[in-house]
Chain A
Amino acid sequence: MSSALLHSLLDDAGQTSGPDWLKQVRVEARTRLLERGLPAARNEAWKYTPLRALESRRLRRVAAASQPVDVDPGLYTLAGVGSPRLVFVDGTLRPDLSDVSSVHGLAIESLGTALERDAQSLRASLGRSFDADAQVFARLNSALPSDGAVIRVAAGVKVEPLLHLVMLGSAGAADAYWQLRNVIELGEGSALRLIEHHAGGQGCSHLGNVVNQYSLHAGARLDLLQLQAAPDSVRLIRRSDAVLDADAHLEMRCVEAGAQWMRHDLAVALQGDRARLVSRGVFVLNGRQHADTRIDVSHQARDTACDLVWRGVADQRARGVFHGAITVCAGADGADALLSNKNLLLSDQAEIDTQPVLEIHADEVKAAHGATVGQLDEKALFYLRSRGIDEAAARSLLTLAFCRIAFDSITNEALHGQLDALLLERLPRAESAADTAQVTG
């Protein structure tokens, strides 16, 4: 399929720098893209998120401006979260907005710098080919030169401060495209807490394309909050690929509270024995928002575990899609897999499609999955009203409570309160319940 989108971005790839292997990766990805185009609607992975409209658009890469645009720090400041902070605007690192004062055992640099210093250490990550046509945007990300964050934690180091990685778009033209490639590596037995934060100024309408690659070596633990609070005019595509060695633990929270159109592919490979993924997530949609979350967990070693609890809320004419696939490979005996996805429809015209998929090729596996789409619990609603809380406030309160499972384990009260407030803003009749933004115990 010929694609205006791909041609507009690929025909003028510009000068490319970097080692030969990387140039080769780009060329191969580019060739593949132009050959294969964007997936058609019959591609199962894109069935609920058609690309036809996007495909016909001509986009333009945002060039690094000689004069950096002014950015209001209020756009990305989070309560209870300080430095270290790394800020990317329109796909380019902004050292003037970042603060990466040295933290023992934590190395933070831009992808450009990291490539100049030691390209070879990035070969495994950047050399990855995305073979499935469904991974078209990761392929696109590979075909173009990219900036991004390279974050490495030395073996045995448990990083104390919370790292804030901000990715935002500035108010730009409707045809703007930017991308980022983030590489996050945790050495053996190390630990890191990271917030990936998508934000932006009202009115910007770019397409952002982010690929995150996480490697957790044996015994490492990553606590990750992905907070997607991009303006409602933005299109955002993310791919998060994680590989976990033995005894590694990825604890992940995803809050999708923005963007007009967003797709997130989360792929986690539990490669080492006893590797463990815990993920909680929620999307809260209104207007004509479209959000598609696609999770793919693969148990590849013994006694690996995943525990996925995701929630979705859609109001007005919004459309939510959730696909949760867990594969237990042959030999991954003793795997323990749990997937729960519950959804709330707040309007007759909203739609949520959910699809849990479990595929098991091993023995002695514990697996459970379930998905529901429903409305608020009438009994709970009446209980609150019978105590004097008016119906609209009761609905907001119950809806927020439904979402909180995604971040209730966050003990930073200020941050928790801000997440509450952020979601409440998106719920119906938020003004009457604005003071509901309070931390639960």
Chain B
Amino acid sequence: MLKIENLHVRVGGKEILKGLSLEAKAGEVHAIMGPNGAGKSTLGNVLAGREGYEVTEGSVEYDRTNLLELEPEERAAAGVFLAFQYPVEIPGVNNTYFLRSALNAQRKRRGEAELDSVQFLKRVREKLAVLHLKDELLHRAVNEGFSGGEKKRNEIFQMALLEPKLAVLDETDSGLDIDALKMVADGVNAMRDPSRAFIVITHYQRLLDYIVPDFVHVLADGRIVESGDKTLALKLEEHGYAWVAQRTVAGAG
């Protein structure tokens, strides 16, 4: 589904990703771990199509198309979803209205019928229950005045509603207490599906106790330096990122 090859990305004139390669197939959950500054969030932003991220080399193929050529909204309609590390507050835009516009814009672009408000609300209620989100959040402005935990749950709620094929979660666990973390994990696990792939970016192993990945990759200094199964996350937790760095240097020498 997703094939990233030798991806080099510059942000503000500085090279952040330096030859990242990664392949994710439908049905798989890939965890990407790494120290601060390794380029984890850059990866998420590049996949979603944020401006200011200059791809200087390499390719990203998604569903047999060149993902990098698509506008952010085209990527969304094609099934790419980024759960933001820092969800944006948008005063004056009602959450329900925003979600319905987003969903219908995607459906329209895909040539599907738009949902009327009854169909839409039915879908909303189903998804809200899974994430234990209060109805009241729907009537507020997008993320405005939400607590940190509510913002992150709102991201997962949006994901549940939009049903992407490729979901990238950018440090969705950061700033969450254990209850919120479990709710987020429940939301993700409920969506695991043979036709859907997840890329879970995280700094800590903790989230992976609840969202058990098929693969774990270590991102350091702009490239994947180690890949393995879920036990790699446990080793990282035990030894710290310095351990990977040492192994990388040793491997190179």
Which residues of A pack against B, CB within 8 Å?
A: 377-380, 382-391, 393-394, 397-398, 400-405, 408, 436, 438-441
Contacts and interface: CB of A to CB of B under 8 A. Distances in A.
A441 B81 CA distance: 26
Contacts, number: 95
A441 B98 CA distance: 12
Contact of A440 (B88, B93, B162): B93
A262 B75 CA distance: 44
Contacts of A378: 51
B154 to A, nearest CB: 12
A388 B90 contact: no
B97 A440 contact: yes
Nearest to A441: B139
Interface string B149-166: 000000000100010000
Contacts of B76: 385-388
B92 A386 contact: no
B172 interface: no
B206 interface: no
Given A387-B102, A441-B140, A400 B92 contact: yes
A398 B97 CA distance: 13
Given A388-B77, A389-B73, A393-B101, A383 B92 contact: no
Given A386-B72, A387-B102, A401-B91, A438 B50 contact: no
Interface residues of B, number: 37
Contacts of A383: 84, 87-88, 90, 142
B49 interface: yes
A397 B100 CA distance: 13
A262 B135 CA distance: 43
Contacts of B92: 400-405, 408, 440
Contact of A388 (B84, B94, B109, B141): B109
Contact of B90 (A386, A393, A398, A405): A398
Given A383-B90, A401-B91, A388 B105 contact: yes
B140 A398 contact: no
Nearest to B109: A388
B157 to A, nearest CB: 12
Contact of B49 (A386, A394, A405): A386
Contacts of A389: 73, 98, 101-102, 105
Contact of B98 (A377, A384, A391, A405): A384
A441 B138 CA distance: 9
B103 interface: yes
B109 A438 contact: no
Contacts of B51: 378, 382
B105 A393 contact: yes
